[in-house]
Amino acid sequence: MKILAAMSGGVDSSVATALLVREGHEVVGAYMKNWINEENIVGHCPWEEDIVDARAVADQLGIDFQVVNLMREYRERVVKYLLEGYQDGITPNPDVMCNREMKFGVLWEWAREKGFDAIATGHYAQKDAQGIFRGADPNKDQTYFLAMMRPEQVQIAQFPIGHLLKPELRDLARDLGLKTADKKDSQGICFIGEVKMEDFLRTFVQDQPGRIVDLEGRVLGEHRGLHLYTLGQRKGIGVASNLYKQAYVVVAKRHETRELVIAIERADTPLLWARRCTLTSISSTGLPLDQPRLLHAQPRYRCPAGLAQFTPLGGDRAELLYEEPQRALTPGQICGLYDGERLLGGAVFESITPE
């Protein structure tokens, strides 16, 4: 096959590319140039060094390498979605949308026009004729970030490293002598770099201060803007622990009054736990999700998927009823939908009914 390998400059995509070359495919490496931090946001945006590292690995493997400038599309499809979501009072997930809109969207369109058969990434996910399955390494599984992919995108996607554990991948990179073998994994917003979300948002969204209140309405402090907080947040609220050294947690955001509601976290903290919610923007990775069924629903990355009853409501909406209460379900976040290890698709949390 003629495969375009999306190379980020990290060890995962480096090994993914190397495995494709070893299998005998015709491989070309490509770096998606999405962001160069023209706004000088506080943080580390390592796009230049990532390109150097990705190109060095491509040279080691003896394959062609290209830098594909997608900065305009990234702002239109990911940054705009991110900023509008926070301004609307929800919590979007740019990493999930980057996969659907950029890697397997715009970049694939670019690749298809040039005659490629598939596009490969360094995601920890596995794929067979039935679809996408969780990666072999439970600590690195990244199928959650693929939940909003469309069926036609799944068909052309390749995940060469999904069968490996992370230590095995590092050892393989060293055996192959890849420059990125010991490079630290990146953290932060997808293809922007090690930039704190708060610093990113404050660059584009004006502060709208308001009161921080408890469940009884007592004023405990002042916040800089509701968009800087998310449900379930424990750190960085700006209110000290109570007299018993119990920390507060965000349980609600009242946009009509600009009030941030916090409470001491307990097993029965009001507003923090929920079983019932409404999903929208349902996206299937294969067969349509148009029938009631029992499935596993993962409300965020690195969170266990809970057993839930999925009931379609028509259109792209459904009701989800978890068997056990879930902590801090958040409007705007992505819900990954699974049948055991198989990724069925995903949706967006539209509304939550607190316990």
Residue 162 CB neighbour total at 10 angstroms: 23
> Which listed residue (98, 277, 303, 335) is catalytic?
98
> Which listed residue (45, 190, 277, 335) is catalytic?
190
Identity (one letter) of the amino acid at 337?
L
Residue 26 CB neighbour total at 10 angstroms: 14
CA–CA–CA angle 191, 120, 135 (5° rounding): 85
| Alpha helices (H) in the chain, listed in sequence order | 11-22, 47-61, 71-74, 80-87, 94-97, 107-113, 151-156, 166-175, 197-204
Residue 95 CB neighbour total at 10 angstroms: 17
What's the start-to-end Cα distance of the chain, in Å?
Answer: 52
Place of tokens 């900065």: 71
Active site residue 335: no
For 50-95, give the DSSP string: HHHHHHHHHHHHT-EEEEEE-HHHHIIIIIHHHHHHHHTT----HH
Residues 6+ apart with CB under 8 A from 5: 13, 16, 17, 20, 27, 28, 29, 30, 63, 119, 120, 121
What is the C-alpha to C-alpha distance for residues 152 and 161, in angstroms, rounded to an integer? Answer: 21
Active site residue 190: yes
- Using CA atoms, how far residue 107 sits from 34, 102, 120, 231, in Å, is 11, 6, 11, 33
Place of tokens 């997808």: 190
What is the C-alpha to C-alpha distance for residues 249 and 251, in angstroms, rounded to an integer? Answer: 6
The long-range contacts involving 24-27, CB below 8 angstroms and separated by at least 24 positions, are 25/1, 26/1, 26/2, 27/3, 27/61, 27/63
What is the C-alpha to C-alpha distance for residues 49 and 241, in angstroms, rounded to an integer? Answer: 42
What is the C-alpha to C-alpha distance for residues 110 and 72, in angstroms, rounded to an integer? Answer: 14
The catalytic site residues sit at 98, 190
